[in-house]
Structure 1
């Protein structure tokens, strides 16, 4: 029996999901399915040629240099003690409020996200600093752990963000515009998280008692101490905005300044340097394997014609475009309950982007929406990677208590998405005013 190309595309997706369920790495699964499907549709010689060319062709793209450099920047920032400086400053300004330690944690997570670009790194680093303090002030386990798990998700929204880089590469959008597009939504989501804490602690006053009020001198001292981190972010990300740097150059500058700060503070030695370099290589290899797999799997799907068929069918139904958009967001939310965020990103973009483009939505704007939905997946049961990261930091807290704590923040993310749909200029204002 001869199968049409669309059916082969569907079979490929089903096989992909089965391989992921069997815990095969996403990059390897995409390579296997992509090459097999490509051979089925276009012949074995063409498939082998693609397999031989893709790894080298795509791993040597200059724009991809931004990934290892931003990862290196985040690893150096973690060693330099920036996380403690950020938390100290946020605690000095917010700690005296009810729920102030939790609000300070969100503020510190947002600041650390601006140099790390990783949700897991943000959750682990800030969790080690913040959770003992909230436990000392008798914060409820749900509020404390939920705050760290949710705050960590800001790592893939506030620039620099590896998720934005991958989205930009796969959709052929500007990396610089996407990084800048995440700034205001990241600030908005951080404020919504703090508002959530304020409402929660107002309704239940015993879950987040206020801490000690810092003096004006202490506030200024901690603010000045965190100044180097603020300067690094301003130079690297601000340089993209004014056109002084390309994203790759900005990442190189940020990595150099973070490394220099760690040297100046004498927080780095040969042992910590080897850990920094090994972790940077591991993360970079993981991301590059995913990207190479996506660049093999994507052409297979395109050759099958499945994405175009789906896009054409949806447009022909003449449904309101916002109804289709919210249906896609709902599907992403459900996928987030079972699949890791990067897997969702690389698996679905080839199918979803033609639909979004046909409906007339801005692809930069949709990239931000998609990343926030992926953030929701990071704290959604049963996968919820950030939840299990926090669980590893506080093994005595039941996993159910942590999921209970993230629910208010999950709802805040939904409110953020709604606001960005209603007011897309929140996303597009900075990228549209950047100096080219």
Structure 2
């Protein structure tokens, strides 16, 4: 069977199963099995499926994923996350302190979490009602918090960068550190957007905010855990002391201790964190397993290699190839969430990026930014619905979408900056080497 027949057949089946409502993990597996049976007997196919399933669950590197998810859940269910926002808000003597504080809290939370949705849910759950109560505009409030959550997938540790490294076989540590400078640039751009918004629509930012100052002891109980966890993760990985999996395990234990000692976590909160982590990993585990099976069938038929060769023969410029890939991901992101996109498309497209001459560490940051845009674009923008669900009676989904538009432009500008100045992402990893 020709490679393009297999490729189009698998893609057609996958889209068909998704359209009729089949969950993506099952859609991936169902689209793979007919073509798997074409190359193997029924008995061999069953053995292959079993091996692919168990191979994912026993992958040492992937052990970091549930650990980072658990870490984020612990912080989200303790008072560390809310107190971090309280500190950022009350200690900023600026007009618009709550908006700036939300961005800062999302960035700080992102430095220990790695999940965009968890970041938006944790900080947004505290900040959105407070901002609306203080008199901030609905669009500004919801836009800041939906976009602020995306900082969690650019600043290390990032689950998207972790998945990207696994699929493309790139250094997780180098990918994490490559996201630091672009992440800080993005935080700065978000601050500028809030400042400009305050000038263009001053009615959206109250002139004076009455907020109870946070006691320094409570502030330290929020800042200290985040700083310690962030330092443990970054220093242990970049200094070669620990692998990302070991760093995730150690930081999870430290987070658990500090959440009990300083964050007010109790046994019911711990049980809810474990339950939520298992629910998340149940879905992610099935998605990873079926994604590996899907990739195995494509690789057997050499679809990624043939697809790359096809584009090479078209003699397109590297930047034309890059532009096509970025536009493809932005459009696809309107309908699929980032983790699914990673395992469905990346095995086919990253060889094309490599053949075009781009650095795969650099492209990892570019790819992650496109995923940030994906979670902010309707109709399936996860962060849009997370934020809107926090204030259904006060904020419409339209308010959230309009509020995110300036921040999406900031992400596009960051993409252009990375294309024009690749060292924005590569300077720090090269310096660390």
Q: What residue number does 2:149 align with?
A: 152
Structure-2 change in CA distance of 1:216 and 1:26 (3 Å): closer
- Kindly indicate whether the alpha-carbon contact (under 8 Å) linking 1:98 and 1:198 is maintained by their aligned counterparts in 2: no
Match of 2:45 in 1: 47
Give distance in 2, aligned partners of 1:424 and 1:151.
24
Residues 72, 280 of structure 1: 8 Å contact kept:
yes
The reply on whether 1:330 has 2:327 as its aligned counterpart is: yes
Off by >6 Å, runs of 4+ in structure 1: 213-221
Tell me the residue number matched to 2:30: 32
- Is 1:200–2:197 an aligned residue pair? yes
Counterpart CA distance in 1 for 2:211 and 2:388 is 31
Q: Which runs of 5+ in 1 are unaligned?
A: none
Q: Which of 79, 84, 87 matches 2:85?
A: 87
Among residues 238, 243, 248, which one is paired with 1:241 in the alignment?
A: 238
Alignment of 1:219-230 (within 5 A): 222=219, 225-230=222-227
Give the 3 Å change call, closer, same or farther, for CA 283–221 of structure 1 in structure 2. Answer: closer
Alignment of 1:18-417 (within 5 A): 18-94=16-92, 96-212=93-209, 222=219, 225-265=222-262, 267-396=264-393, 397-417=395-415
- Output the CA distance in 2 between the equivalents of 1:414 and 1:219: 38
* Cα offset, 1:41, TM superposition: 3.5
TM-score by length of 1: 0.94
- 1:223 Cα deviation after fit: 6.0
Per the alignment, do residues 114 and 294 of structure 1 end up closer, same or farther by CA in structure 2, a change over 3 Å counting?
same
Distance 1:423 1:25 in 2: 39
Cα offset, 1:143, TM superposition: 0.3
Q: CA deviation at 1:416?
A: 0.9
Q: Deviations over 1:201-260 (max 9, x none)?
A: 111111112444999997898367512211211122222111122111110111011100
**Alpha-carbon distance in 1 for matches of 2:375, 2:21:** 18
Cα deviation for residue 147 of structure 1 reads 0.8
Alignment equivalent of 1:420, drawn from 407, 412, 418: 418
TM-score (norm 2): 0.94
Shift of 1:285: 2.1
Instruction: Note closer, same or farther for the CA distance 1:139–1:351 as it changes in structure 2 (3 Å cut).
Output: same
Residues 1:6 and 1:303: Cα distance change in structure 2 (over 3 Å): farther
Partner Cα distance (2:149, 2:411) in 1: 13
State whether residues 110 and 153 of structure 2, in contact with CA within 8 Å, keep that contact through their aligned partners in structure 1.
yes
Partners of 2:263 and 2:126 lie apart in 1 by 20
Q: Identify which range, 102-111 or 393-402, moves more after superposition.
A: 393-402
Q: Is residue 180–residue 431 contact of structure 1 (8 Å, CA) maintained in 2?
A: yes
Whether the 8 Å CA contact 1:137–1:209 is kept in 2: the answer is yes
Does the CA contact (< 8 Å) of 2:73 and 2:277 recur in 1? yes
How far off is 1:59 after superposition?
Answer: 1.3
Q: Which runs of 5+ in 2 are unaligned?
A: none
Q: Is the 8 A contact 1:123 1:151 kept in 2?
A: yes
